[in-house]
Amino acid sequence: MSAQIVTITSGKGGVGKTTAIASLGIALASRGQKVVCIDGDIGLRNLDVIMGLENRIVYDIVDVVEGRCRLRQAMIRDKRMPELFLIPAAQTRDKTALSPSDMLRLGDELREVCDWVLIDSPAGIERGFKNSIAPADRVLVLTNPEISAVRDADRVIGILESEEKGSPSLILNRVNSEMVKRQEMLSPEDVLDLLAIDLIGVVPEDQGVLVAANRGMPIALEENSKAGQAFRNIAARLMGEDIPFMDLDSSDGLWKRISKLTGRS
């Protein structure tokens, strides 16, 4: 096996990185892939809660790096998906407990045992972010259609480009097509126009995401949720399938225009 390592980052906090990681993990695992999710937010761990695995944690990522346990022992198997694992962050340490080269070593070790490694980067552009992108083969930048979030995403993309990580792909999260229509929210076109990178997914605003997160049930598990469907589509695109963007609002030509913009139909 030789896993692809994918990091999701955003610059700004609270835009939905952790939710996205949990949902993409579920979506990839339900396609028969073996997936390891890593919580890169040492000191402020959340991914375990979103995945509903917080009471199963024995060892964490810092224990692995500092040699207190084997990699295998820190991989917590998901309750629902036998091929989905979580490596939790340490809650009692901070970002300096790991270095970029620790993450590179860990990434190389994980490459051998699974198909996908998904890394949840902490907000910011400091040590935790540097750690999270160090082993990545591919980086997904996630943003909301808000000016502040888009500016932070722009900064992060600039850093990724200067670190020669290649051009990242964009996930636009929490798009409210009603508000876009009323011109109260940046449209996906506005965001793409500024950031000028490839779009890999547009996730609609969905109150169900919060409810699901509080229950420890990633939204991708919910068959009828549009947000869940959007994450399942992103997972399919990661696997190289050409999936058209969803038509979230048939009365508005918005989604068709996005399709045109990105060359998918």
Residues contributing to the site for another protein (CB under 8 A) = 96, 99-101, 125, 127, 130, 147, 151-152, 154-155, 157-159, 161-164, 194, 196
Closer of 163 and 247 to another protein (Cβ): 163
- Do 108 and 71 contact (CB within 8 A), yes or no? no
CB of 157 to another protein, least distance (A): 6
Query: Which helix (H) or strand (E) element contains residue 192?
Result: helix 188-195
Closest approach of another protein to the CB of residue 32, in Å: 36
Tokens matching residue 57: 């944690």
Q: In angstroms, rounded to a whole number, what is the distance separating the alpha carbons of residues 175 and 45?
A: 26
Nearer to another protein by Cβ, of 78 and 154: the residue is: 154
Backbone angles phi, psi at 176, to 5 degrees: -105, 105
Shortest distance, position 99 Cβ to another protein, whole Å = 5
Nearer to another protein, 194 or 243 (CB): 194
Instruction: Report in angstroms how near the CB of residue 235 gets to another protein at its nearest.
Output: 28
Q: Give the nearest distance from C-beta 153 to another protein in angstroms.
A: 9
Our CB check for another protein shows the closer of 196 and 210 to be: 196
Q: Are strands 169-175 and 138-143 parallel, antiparallel or unpaired?
A: parallel
Max intra-chain CA distance, the chain: 57
Helix (H, G, I), strand (E, B) or coil at 164: coil
Q: Which is nearer to another protein, 147 or 210 (CB)?
A: 147
Distance between CA atoms of 238 and 69, rounded to whole angstroms?
31
